């Protein structure tokens, strides 16, 4: 059984990975299509080691055994090498072969990867019996996390909420800038051109959610499950048990215990009652996606 954990950056995919990493019966693979740089602790910071170390070794073994002529930097199929690759709906042959190679290494694999939202049909073709866990998070929390930075280090720049809602920068915004540049060239998003950083992030949230949701349901059926980060943090044991149901396995007690001790809501939403959240969501056309994700637009998310 293979499980693919997909979600927009800063949505809580790494804490799911951290929990499943406690299970020695699962082969956990951290973002096989990212760069080969060390990822100490990943997005959650819960682990003190390089989460990418095992994939890096497998990547080199793949090159040595299957594609000796391959420049392995090309296996970073998306950001930071080339974010626009994430918007393509196919994978080149060497990436397909690489993914098959990774899945051959163990009978039960967990692949945590934030770059596959447009490629779930390819995943279904490569691993027909796989399941998909689609992790989503309140888009306000995602945008707050991206704009304020890891550990909210940039919070001092936004003492005045006006600065947060109108801020325009050249920052990568966890790949949201490059991805939004492509999306903003589409005719339906003409009205958003020149928009602040916040709306760029919300646009990427909407796009990545809708792509993964549509193809997840179409290609995986009941082997696709949407999980809200807020529900996982509210009841970690129940959330982890639901993930194991996708794997057709019973959750080991020590994994449930780890989740209960370590999975928690850490960051809140910047200026949560400010009406400009609702205005930004309306401009981006976020309401249908919010409803599909289980968020009521009149409630907390907007």
The tens digit of pLDDT for each residue in 5-27 reads: 999 999 999 999 999 999 999 99
Residues of the chain with pLDDT under 50: 299-302
pLDDT digit string, tens, across residues 80-111: 999 999 999 999 999 999 999 999 999 999 99
Q: What is the pTM of this model?
A: 0.95
pLDDT for 267 equals: 73
Boundaries of every domain in the chain = 2-138+220-262, 140-203+269-287
Q: Residue 192 in contact with residue 184, Cβ under 8 Å?
A: yes
pLDDT for 64 equals: 98
* Phi, psi at 83, each rounded to 5°: -55, -30
- The CATH T-level fold of domain 2-138+220-262 is Rossmann fold (3.40.50)
pLDDT for 299 equals: 45
pLDDT for 229 equals: 97
């Amino acid at each position: 059984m293979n499980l693919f954990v997909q979600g927009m950056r800063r949505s809580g995919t790494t804490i799911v990975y951290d929990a499943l990493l406690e299970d020695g019966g699962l082969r956990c693979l951290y973002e096989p299509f990212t760069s080969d740089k060390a990822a100490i602790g990943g997005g959650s910071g819960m682990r003190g080691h390089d989460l990418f170390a095992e994939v890096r070794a497998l990547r080199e073994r793949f090159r040595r055994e299957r594609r000796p002529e391959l420049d392995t930097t090309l296996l970073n199929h998306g950001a930071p090498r080339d974010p626009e690759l994430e918007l393509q709906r196919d994978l080149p042959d060497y990436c397909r072969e690489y993914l098959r190679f990774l899945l051959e290494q163990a009978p039960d694999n967990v692949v945590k990867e934030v770059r596959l939202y447009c490629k779930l049909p390819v995943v279904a073709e490569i691993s027909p019996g796989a399941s998909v866990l689609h992790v989503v998070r309140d888009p306000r929390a995602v945008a707050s996390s991206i704009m304020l930075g890891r550990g909210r280090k940039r919070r001092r720049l936004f003492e005045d909420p006006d600065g947060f809602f109108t801020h325009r920068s050249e920052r990568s915004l966890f790949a949201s800038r490059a991805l939004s540049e492509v999306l903003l060239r589409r005719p339906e998003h003409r009205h958003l051109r020149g928009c602040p950083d916040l709306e760029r992030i919300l646009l990427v949230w909407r796009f990545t959610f809708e792509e993964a949701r549509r193809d997840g349901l179409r290609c995986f059926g009941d082997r696709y499950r949407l999980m809200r980060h807020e529900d996982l943090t509210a009841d970690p044991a129940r959330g982890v048990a639901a993930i194991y149901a996708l794997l057709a396995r019973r959750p080991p007690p020590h994994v449930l215990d780890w989740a209960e001790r370590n999975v928690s809501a850490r960051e809140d939403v910047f200026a949560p009652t400010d009406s400009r959240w609702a205005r930004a969501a309306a401009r981006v056309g976020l309401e249908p996606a919010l409803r599909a994700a289980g968020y009521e637009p009149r409630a907390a998310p907007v």
